[in-house]
Structure 1
């Protein structure tokens, strides 16, 4: 059976929006442990749009526009990158109210379909192996962009995994990586660094789990197959909160309910239901269901 999965790096415009929305939720909880928050963000070029509602008894410490820019700087939108977060023009339409949020957060005021999934074992974090592999490799590349051999590259990027599963064998067939780069680095040099990061991470997986049967030399590698990618992030595509749900959940072979996780306080049934369903699935799997 052919299995595929995908992850995006922190600088992908959709994931940037998710991170800003979650940073706003965290700021709301700093102001009020019972805070109500439902916020979404969209971005294109240097234009950011915030919508939604916030209810806290105390004011937030930071303006939402400052949270947008700080999040952008943290993930790597700063010089010499093509995107500089401090240049974002933020259009803030979020309704902020100063009153007791428990009117909204002490009960469930919505409905949703929540799907929890767990399988295999702890070696793949109870996830489909292709999705686990995509996350492990994507995390390694993101860390390398922050303080490794890829420092300064990214932060936008995608990684696609294709493997063939049979019984207890996972034969990785192809890894496709597209990653934003600085103009100073040659594409071949970037490719070599990416390959080294992938090799180190995959080799460690094989040491710990013999089900990864393919050697690294067996895997077809495609690194920036369309050529140099300089203007990534919101200069290359528009972004929106909640558009990477398959990445956030279990990969493409597991159905999702459709509710986004980011930008919502923990009283929202989309978020609470997703966590509860995953917890129930883990319990059932780990106890022999």
Structure 2
């Protein structure tokens, strides 16, 4: 007999989490390119670590974009202080790739994973809905000033055992002087 576990974990991050920051910067660059030139082709990636932000990739567009300015604006809008070293290395797309895209469609491969589930009315797994609710709650508490010591970076993880919650983990960036017990009182 084969035993198949129904235990799974899901994670969600807040807008100030490094991965989400990088996604938002890349998205804002794409948005600006498309605003100026609807036929833009944008393959831009962003990497961030400890005050360093690297924006790189290839673009085919008539748009004139200030990558660093966009990155700094997104960073400030999230709630971080603008203490970044920004490195930009964005080049024009190779004419050979551009020609291939013109004649054959997208020139890159991608793998996506996901599924609909009748477990909830939203057709998403219960654990995913719960973990997103936790990070949305962290965002709301921070943005509304309800918990003054919360900072932009945070994430949550929910582990499910079938339809039962097995574990819940919440991680939040906060002021240094806040104690663990104060965090627990505010968030539990």
TM, length-normalised to structure 1:
0.56
Distance of 1:154 and 1:58 partners within structure 2: 34
Of 174, 179, 187 in structure 1, the residue corresponding to residue 180 of structure 2 is 187
User: Shift of residue 190 of structure 1?
Assistant: 2.3
Of 152, 160, 177 in structure 2, the residue corresponding to residue 163 of structure 1 is 160
- Segments of 4+ in structure 1 off by > 6 A? none
- CA change 1:142–1:2 in 2 (3 A) is same
Q: Which residue of structure 2 aligns with residue 14 of structure 1?
A: 19
Distance of 1:128 and 1:3 partners within structure 2: 10
Q: Is the 8 A contact 1:150 1:194 kept in 2?
A: no
Q: Are residue 45 (structure 1) and residue 50 (structure 2) matched?
A: yes
Q: Which residue of structure 1 aligns with residue 78 of structure 2?
A: 75
Of 85, 91, 101 in structure 2, the residue corresponding to residue 89 of structure 1 is 85
- CA change 1:75–1:160 in 2 (3 A) is same
Q: Is the 8 A contact 1:36 1:105 kept in 2?
A: no
- Report 1 or 2 for greater relative contact order, CA contacts < 8 Å, sequence distance ≥ 6: 1
Q: Is the 8 A contact 1:149 1:193 kept in 2?
A: no
- CA change 1:70–1:96 in 2 (3 A) is farther
Of 137, 143, 146 in structure 1, the residue corresponding to residue 140 of structure 2 is 143
Q: Is the 8 A contact 1:20 1:71 kept in 2?
A: yes
Q: Which residue of structure 1 aligns with residue 3 of structure 2?
A: none
SS at match of 1:175: strand
User: Shift of residue 151 of structure 1?
Assistant: 4.1
Runs of 5+ consecutive residues of structure 2 not aligned to the other structure: 1-5
User: Shift of residue 191 of structure 1?
Assistant: 2.0
Q: Is the 8 A contact 2:119 2:125 kept in 1?
A: no
Distance of 2:28 and 2:102 partners within structure 1: 19
Q: Is the 8 A contact 2:149 2:178 kept in 1?
A: no
- CA change 1:41–1:58 in 2 (3 A) is closer
Distance of 2:133 and 2:156 partners within structure 1: 10
Runs of 5+ consecutive residues of structure 1 not aligned to the other structure: 78-83, 196-289
Distance of 1:179 and 1:105 partners within structure 2: 45
User: Shift of residue 116 of structure 1?
Assistant: 4.8
- CA change 1:70–1:105 in 2 (3 A) is farther
User: Aligned Cα RMSD in Å?
Assistant: 2.4
Name the structure where strand makes up a greater proportion of residues: 2
Q: Is the 8 A contact 2:12 2:156 kept in 1?
A: yes
Distance of 2:149 and 2:78 partners within structure 1: 11
User: Shift of residue 183 of structure 1?
Assistant: 2.6
Q: Is the 8 A contact 2:120 2:126 kept in 1?
A: no
Distance of 2:7 and 2:114 partners within structure 1: 23
